[in-house]
Chains A and B, each alone.
Chain A
């Protein structure tokens, strides 16, 4: 009977019922200083909303049915694996961002997802290449980040001491100079890695690892410079304390 029904309205019905129970359990609170009365209280509207959502969900459960033709266009197994990988990596990003820090988690998320998206599937045979790319991109990223930090610190210190004009010590100037130097280093790295790869030959997964590493490193450093150094957003340091 319920075979052609969609699950979402049912989930919504259950959530609405739970919301109703929750609102009742909260009780009604009136405005501070409502001695005269008249305030309908904080429960009325959420309660109405819970009933409304339940009724609409029930109506949808009854009327919104699965389209038999849509089941043919489902996800393939490789798409499902990529989807699951994205969900897991995203969840790990949220959980590990604080202990490991922005630099590492961002780099790894970008590298892993870009690599497997380019490969088009999550398969065991790519593991070795992906791990080599993973480690190399981490090493290069840390080197680039450390150079960037060194430049930033030196500029700030020099501006404070008065050895360079104070304008060069402003957050935007420091971020700009660091960006220019880091970009130059990145471009050099790009040419170097291309030459190296040309020597070793280009298999599909090596190419993917190369592209993924470059995208991950460039994006992580660029976002860091914009948000941390320009907007002074406190991006979590985690284990990268320098």
Chain B
């Protein structure tokens, strides 16, 4: 109880409320703008979060995360273009509802659904993350090595169409993580050591700058490689009814529960993400409506059921993805990977240690997650007439703003150290260009982030495990938990590979 009160004290201040409100609005706007993702929003906000107290900073990032996931439904409903892949399944019924003159009901329904999804998955997060974290008590260096391997392999194997590309990107991220000094011997491990020994690179690749480059700057270059999108023309919307009736909500309880379950579960599986969850929830809702004996309207005809299912699921993913992120340090998706990066930049290492030694911060994170969902619903409902206007901001103005915010973000992490800040600008630009060329060739970016985050953990625990086993490399095959993780890793590579081969044969 003391920890809870301490956690509450960490966020019970005006600064947290103001920053979370800003984060929520920024998240909704970013989510509503096609092409801009929640991950990019979190990466861009990281430097601001860095300047704030830990709980407030994490609250800001969570507000951006929840806002962006939910905000993606706005263009999906109004113009049939999802703000990001999270809202891809909302398009069909959302757009049909707008065409029927029910845009207000669809937008309002999406907000209510997102809120239910967010809060539902938060309850699961609060109940299960301490239990999962407790499991890691049984983990020694060998188990931690294989756990990092699982995180890396899963995200690499499912984040792109080509497993090899995902694995290569994971390895590339790890290679970047090894830059700097050897953690055990302090030996410099950077190329051109004589030249770079006095630069900030000697302390390793700056995670924030790398993330900003990979998700912010690369996106600017990527958008430039395509013709500028014409600003969406949103017809004046008739918004009279926003909230779905209680009776309708009661009728949809099966859809809500199944979407919540699917979203939370899929979110908790590293590497899967909301774009898978929304389709599964939509399909599940389809079968529920078919068996409802006319109580529910069929999906695909412009019904609230078709908006509710994916919107509950995509926000349920946020809480689900935080379970492995907080309890194991293994992110559920790219956005939580960046969140873990932010925690690590703040000196907080997720995992059992966090739960055992800093439970007040864990509670503060839970409370900020609750606030993030409340703010998301509040600001989205308040601005239901306003956000469609965001869609008319032209890309020609948006892209330079993203570029400069990325640069300033990379610079600002250094605080008072201007030389380090300038070096970070270079890192961000370099990673941005690297990210652009990779994206252009359909290489997934998320595994690089995972490699950067888990690379250090992997190497340190690998060396510790082998050292403790007296130099025996087979130590990883002698422990049941390690074998389980290794088996899991092999399966996560083999199954998509088999699936791909089958599809190719077809």
Cβ A29 vs Cβ B182 within 8 A = yes
B429 touches A (CB below 8 Å): yes
Within 8 A of B (CB), among A30-65: 30-32, 34, 37-42, 45-46, 49-50, 52-53, 56-57, 59-60, 63-64
A38, A93, A215, A223: the one within 8 Å of B471 (CB): A38
Q: Considering the chains assembled together, what is the distance between the CA atoms of A42 and B466 in angstroms?
A: 12
Least distance between B138 CB and chain A CB atoms (Å): 23
Q: Knowing A46-B178, A49-B174 are in contact, say whether A227-B412 is a contact too (CB < 8 A).
A: yes
Q: Which residue of B lies closest to A23 (CB)?
A: B189
Q: Considering the chains assembled together, what is the distance between the CA atoms of A87 and B432 in angstroms?
A: 10
Q: Considering the chains assembled together, what is the distance between the CA atoms of A45 and B466 in angstroms?
A: 12
Cβ A231 vs Cβ B51 within 8 A = yes
Within 8 A of B (CB), among A76-127: 76, 79, 82-83, 86-87, 90-91, 93-94, 97-98, 106, 109-110, 113-114, 117-118, 120
B174, B187, B226, B412: the one within 8 Å of A29 (CB): B187
A207 touches B (CB below 8 Å): no
B184 touches A (CB below 8 Å): yes
B182, B228, B458, B473: the one within 8 Å of A40 (CB): B473
B202 touches A (CB below 8 Å): no
Q: Knowing A109-B400, A227-B408 are in contact, say whether A39-B467 is a contact too (CB < 8 A).
A: yes
Q: Which residue of A lies closest to B395 (CB)?
A: A117
Least distance between B2 CB and chain A CB atoms (Å): 31
Q: Knowing A29-B185, A31-B184, A86-B220 are in contact, say whether A94-B404 is a contact too (CB < 8 A).
A: no
B415 touches A (CB below 8 Å): yes
Q: Knowing A90-B403, A117-B399, A231-B412 are in contact, say whether A57-B168 is a contact too (CB < 8 A).
A: yes
B397, B415, B438, B462: the one within 8 Å of A8 (CB): B438
Q: Which residue of A lies closest to B185 (CB)?
A: A29
Q: Considering the chains assembled together, what is the distance between the CA atoms of A216 and B56 in angstroms?
A: 30
Q: Knowing A8-B437, A45-B459, A53-B168 are in contact, say whether A75-B225 is a contact too (CB < 8 A).
A: yes
From A12, A109, A233, name the one whose CB has the most chain B CB atoms within 10 angstroms. A233
> How many interface residues does A have (CB within 8 Å)?
62
A22, A42, A93: the one within 8 Å of B182 (CB): A42
Q: Considering the chains assembled together, what is the distance between the CA atoms of A120 and B408 in angstroms?
A: 25
Cβ A120 vs Cβ B412 within 8 A = no
B203 touches A (CB below 8 Å): no
Cβ proximity bits B369-396 to A, threshold 8 Å, 1 near / 0 not: 0000000000000000000000000111
Cβ A86 vs Cβ B469 within 8 A = no
Chain B residues near A227 (CB-CB < 8 A) = 408, 412
Least distance between B403 CB and chain A CB atoms (Å): 7
> Interface on A for B, CB 8 Å cutoff?
6, 8, 12, 19, 22, 26, 29-32, 34, 37-42, 45-46, 49-50, 52-53, 56-57, 59-60, 63-64, 75-76, 79, 82-83, 86-87, 90-91, 93-94, 97-98, 106, 109-110, 113-114, 117-118, 120, 211, 215, 219, 223, 226-227, 231-236
* 30 chain-A/chain-B pairs, Cβ below 8 angstroms: A8-B437, A37-B470, A38-B471, A39-B467, A40-B466, A42-B184, A49-B175, A60-B162, A64-B165, A79-B224, A86-B224, A87-B221, A87-B433, A93-B407, A94-B429, A106-B404, A106-B408, A109-B407, A110-B400, A114-B400, A117-B395, A117-B400, A118-B396, A118-B397, A120-B228, A215-B400, A226-B48, A227-B408, A234-B418, A236-B422
